[in-house]
Amino acid sequence: MVSGLIGKKIGMTQGFDEDGNVVPLTVIQAGPCTVVQKKTKARDGYEALQLAFVEERPAKKPSRALQGHYKASGLPVAKVLREVKPRAGAEVKEGDQVFVDIFKAGDKVAVTGVSKGKGFAGVVKRHHFAGGDGAHGSMFHRAPGSIGASSYPSRVVKGLRMGGRMGHDRVTVRNLKVFETDKPNNLLILRGAVPGPNGGYVLISKG
């Protein structure tokens, strides 16, 4: 069968484990997804399944190339399209639907999403620099300090930690445990946090 599923992060809540301890939970609307294209090694050079995330509202103003891609499979244009690896021996064809029941409680999964963007941030927030003294005469509160010597190498070396754009990166969190699945409502509940804001799209794959 399919090894992954596209989902939308709904938010976080709490629950109780077997020992009665409170655990943080993330609720994800996982699927349903439709197989749009099946890629083969002979034709495409690798094996993969293209999944489309089925939502109530279709994509707005899709390009003609995207319309043609979906027309070949006879499916409406979706907002999100991702590729996952097929399981060995899985018999999946274009048009098949994948539901959240591919996961079960206790499974370990990896969740890939885009982290929250923080905009431009200084070195204290971005790289956890300690900063200088907070007294009035310090004149060195949240500054980065020296960024290189003037005589040699007379330049700023590559990779030096400085202020800049923070967040909005592709992040994968591994070994998250499935707490519960709800197939009638297409919900997947995971222990712990996943990257991205509420409403953000994520790819859940079996670890």
pLDDT at 7: 93
Co-location of 132 and 89 in the same domain: no
Co-location of 184 and 156 in the same domain: no
pLDDT at 160: 95
Give CA 98 to chain center in angstroms: 19
Co-location of 65 and 134 in the same domain: no
pLDDT tens digit at each of 207 positions of the chain? 678 899 999 999 999 988 899 999 999 999 788 888 888 888 889 888 889 888 887 788 888 888 888 887 777 888 888 988 887 766 777 778 888 988 998 899 999 999 999 999 999 999 999 989 988 898 899 999 899 999 998 999 999 999 999 999 999 999 999 999 988 999 999 999 999 999 999 999 986
Co-location of 159 and 189 in the same domain: no
Co-location of 65 and 140 in the same domain: no
180, 170, 202: which is closest to 13 by C-alpha? 180
CATH number, position 174: 2.40.30.10
Residues 58 and 79: their CA atoms lie apart, in Å, by 6
Residues 117 and 197: their CA atoms lie apart, in Å, by 9
Co-location of 176 and 154 in the same domain: no
Reading the block at residue 82, the tokens are 């991702």
Tell me the sheet residues that pair with 97.
Answer: 34
Size of the chain, expressed as the number of residues it contains: 207
Co-location of 17 and 76 in the same domain: yes
Co-location of 44 and 99 in the same domain: yes
Task: Pick the last residue of a domain from 167, 182, 198.
Answer: 167
Co-location of 8 and 86 in the same domain: yes
Co-location of 99 and 163 in the same domain: no
Co-location of 58 and 87 in the same domain: yes
The total number of structural domains in the chain stands at: 2
Residues 56 and 77: their CA atoms lie apart, in Å, by 11
By residue range, what is the domain housing residue 135? 121-167
Reading the block at residue 120, the tokens are 């431009």
Residues 110 and 32: their CA atoms lie apart, in Å, by 18
Co-location of 91 and 20 in the same domain: yes
Helices (H), the chain: 41-44, 64-73, 123-127
pLDDT at 90: 67
